Amino acid sequence: MRISLLATLIAVISTTTIHVTGLPSDPSNDQRRIADVNATAVPAPVPARAKPKPTFGAEDYPTVRGSNLGGWLLLEPWITPDLMLTPDLKALNKYIPDEWTYTQVLGRQEAAARLQVHYATFVTEDDFRMMRMHGLNLVRIPVPYYAFNTSEAEPYVGQIQLPYLGRAIKWADQYGLDVILDLHALPNSQNGFDNSGHAGGIHFADEATFVDDSARAMSALIDMVELFVNDPQFNGAVAAIEVINEPLVNEQSKDKPRTDRIPLAKLEDWYRAAYSIVQAAVSPTALRRPVVLMHDAFMPPGTFDDTFNDDRGTFKPGTYALDTHIYQAFNGLNFLSEETHLYVACGAGGNLRAAAGPGKKGGARRPVLVGEFSIGTSTRCVPYVQCEGRSIADDIRTLTDYNPRPTIVVEQQQPIKGDGSAARREAKQQQQQQQTPQTNASANADANVTTTMRLNPHASFARRFFEAQTAVFEANSMGYVYWNWKTQAAAAWSLRDIFLQGWAPSRLDDPSMRMFKYDAKAAPCISENVA
């Protein structure tokens, strides 16, 4: 009989000494010292709101229109290539794929100094002001476990992230944005990606270290709750806690068996344990009880139906939600034509509805959030050395020369209808835009959008692609969170710059700002011409 992971972890955590009990405050400690960012870098408390904030995913919770702050408290080299391309690091002639290597090469003291400059400058109050100005209502903040605890065996610099995180949560609340705190990296990596802190193998679930690694991750979740949920100075801004980001599991298929990833049963145990730990950590006096958010591990809809609705009754309706990430830049989708990208986007609604359950055994449906998506149809700055000296403006110029690919039929899409290639459609649309006076709908949109489309053939597709995806997500889930808010040289992956280019409506919460008509029954679901 398998020993309960939850019981084991509770026993381990109760005797561990890695638990952090407060924000770093000792300026003499290099591990805890913060750069000069206004003392603790946290603004004055915001007065509590008159009425309780709605529960994340509840019927009275607004449609989510948010953005991620990736590449900030957890480095991803493609987002900030300049950090990896300083003269001293280039002189080493060593590729730096992740934060593990970055801190290992620099050493903790030098890495801490550089990281604190990055934390203080990459995300500022102006970013939250801009998010609100463009109609966003939520920000998802990826945080690594080592922000809360590190070991001598790891090169990471821990705890220096926390004051900046606290400041960001207060800024979010100040500008009316809810917060998802996302445990983005787990010990020994849950996916082998750079976004787990350590690219390479997936060892979080290794038998020899799984209990210890899980205990450290659970400790980080407890600290996350105690520091930023239970403390009234944060005004209940945290709406959800995500317990793991993008875990990769062994595929449960006979023709493609895998053993190098996390066994699905272990991930299910982890979800039960993490859910219970977070629920228990929330104080009865907390201004808000955050929902526990769990990623679908890129598995088919319904994979976790039995887990969430099992006989144990672990998961209570209204206290958890499912996160799914939808991209068209990987796994062969990057070879699709523009038109086919639109068909695939329009077909995403079925999977989103199926992911909400309840499954064959019945039970309650669950909220589903598209926690990451993008209009990027190809990777940028991968590897990051490709973007040395490149700016967002440079990347936009490469999109100006965008060459539409041939249409490819894929299983997920509906049969393609129309009058030919994406290139002919694009040329026809530009001609119509130049000859037809603006309608009321387009007049309400950004004043520079039509001009941008004429100058950049890719812009019309980018805008349609953004509007198609967001319309589908709003109609079939609780909403969406764009990846990412900003990058140094990847325009289609930088929502801030997407707004500046007119590739998205100026205000996401104002339907009159949309340029194209959404019709779920049409193929594709987004109009070809400006509405």
> Which one of 99, 154, 226, 246 is the catalytic residue?
246
Q: Is 246 a catalytic residue?
A: yes
**Residues 188/209, Cβ–Cβ less than 8 Å:** yes
Which pairing describes strands 291-295 and 320-326: parallel, antiparallel, or unpaired?
parallel
Q: Residue 158 to residues 23, 195, 234, 281: CA-CA distances in angstroms?
A: 12, 16, 22, 22
> Which one of 99, 154, 372, 528 is the catalytic residue?
372
Amino acid at site 71:
G
Q: In degrees, to the nearest 5, what angle opens at C-alpha 215 toward C-alphas 213 and 216? A: 65
Q: What does the alpha-carbon distance between residue 357 and residue 231 come to, in Å, rounded to a whole number?
A: 34
Tokens of residue 234, six digits: 């944060």
Q: Residue 71 to residues 239, 376, 506: CA-CA distances in angstroms?
A: 21, 17, 24
Q: What does the alpha-carbon distance between residue 182 and residue 184 come to, in Å, rounded to a whole number?
A: 5
Q: Is 154 a catalytic residue?
A: no
Contacts of 229 (CB under 8 A, 6+ apart): 236, 238, 241, 281, 282, 283, 286, 288, 290
Q: How many CB atoms lie within 10 A of CB 83?
A: 21
**Residues 269/324, Cβ–Cβ less than 8 Å:** no
Tokens of residue 505, six digits: 């409506």
**Residues 160/32, Cβ–Cβ less than 8 Å:** yes
Active site (catalytic) residues: 246, 372
